[in-house]
Amino acid sequence: MAYTEIELAEKISIVAQKRYQQIKPSGKPTCKSNGVKEWTVLAAVVAFNNEHDEFRLISLATGVKALPDEELKRSQGRMVHDSHAEILAIRGLNTAFLRQIEMLDSDHENEKCDLIEETDSPGVYRFRSDVWKLALYVSKIPCGDCSMHTLNDQDHTGIHFGEEDTCQYIDPNVKTTLRGRFNYSKKGICRTKPGRADSNLTVSKSCSDKLLSKTVMSVLNAINWDLLQHPVYLDYLILPESNRELKLSCNRNFRERLASFPGVHPVNILYCKTKFNDDQNEEETKTPCPVSSILLDILPKSVIIEQCILNGVRNGCYVKGPKDLRKNSESVVSRLSQWQSFKKLKKHRHFSSYMDFKAQELYRNELKLKLRAVLSPDGWIHTRTDNFH
């Protein structure tokens, strides 16, 4: 049967939430000793074939945290900087692609690889876009530009920002990137992840900005960009049913901000009525869950990886700074883990470091520079370089 778009949104949200129910309790919100419940955001990348009624979850993630930029000093590829659910789910998608490529390269269970296939060119692969479309489900409207209208409705302080108020900027010379939720009345602008005003600074960009960037850069990271023949784009973004103003905000973010930019692959935004039970609830006091979870279906129902992440590394492995992080503390979706897989696939190529490899992706880097110049014309505020060998 072929689903209508309304039915498709509900179906994909149900696929994600049913799978969420099966993950370990250690990866879910709990009730604290003081009786306050925790909340989280759920995201999942689902491949589907509408004509054949096939729905295949690839990656599932929860999370609401981002690391302070300072933490990346000692990361060496081990720490996941941005653990917001939708970004983790896309990292998971890239890991799943990479693992299937490894299987194809080693002839191990390669007949079961349903997402990736070999091409006529040795060492070059392709996503099976003739079979699958990709949808990203997120249980909450993405942070950043998409959700600023909610804050506007909730605020009754009467506080207004002027251009000269420097507290809203990471860098006063870059007025086209705002810090978190500051000056939320300003729309269509690049923002960093939200956080308390007194918290350690993160310059990781909002999920609205990152998901918008994927419509140009594709969902592929630098490693898979190198391995796959063509970029891979999301076909659908499934969000919770929202009021008219929030839908207009999402439309502005994904339709207007890059309206004049060439080569955008617009994502179709659908809204679902299925509610996520562990979401933030206005009717009761809840606190954000500090733990993120990641579940990857590398091969359907046979090769599954599940991990919990706390402070950017596998739960139980974090060491407070300035000490070095533990060996093997990295999660399966970390840069280091993905880099190690890539080096096994490309033994004949030599790179002095991860950043050396990225610097050689000339077309991708040029495209990224052009995109960032549109998103933040005053300049781009970079996260700390996380380099390793």
Catalytic residues: 86
Separation between Cα atoms, residue 181 and residue 191, nearest integer Å: 8
> If residue 86 lies in a helix (H) or strand (E), which one and from where to where?
helix 85-106
What tokens appear for 326 in the block? 């533990």
What string of DSSP letters covers 206-254?
PHHHHHHHHHHH-S--HHHHHHBSS----SEEEEE---HHHHHHHHIII
Residue 108: closest CA among 342, 297, 296, 299: 299
> Which residue type, as a one-letter code, is found at position 48?
F
> Which residue type, as a one-letter code, is found at position 84?
H
* Helix/strand/coil for 19: helix
Residue 10: closest CA among 48, 61, 38, 41: 48
- Nearest 5°: the CA angle 227, 230, 233 is 110
Per-residue CA distances from 322 to 75, 315, 330 (Å):
11, 19, 17
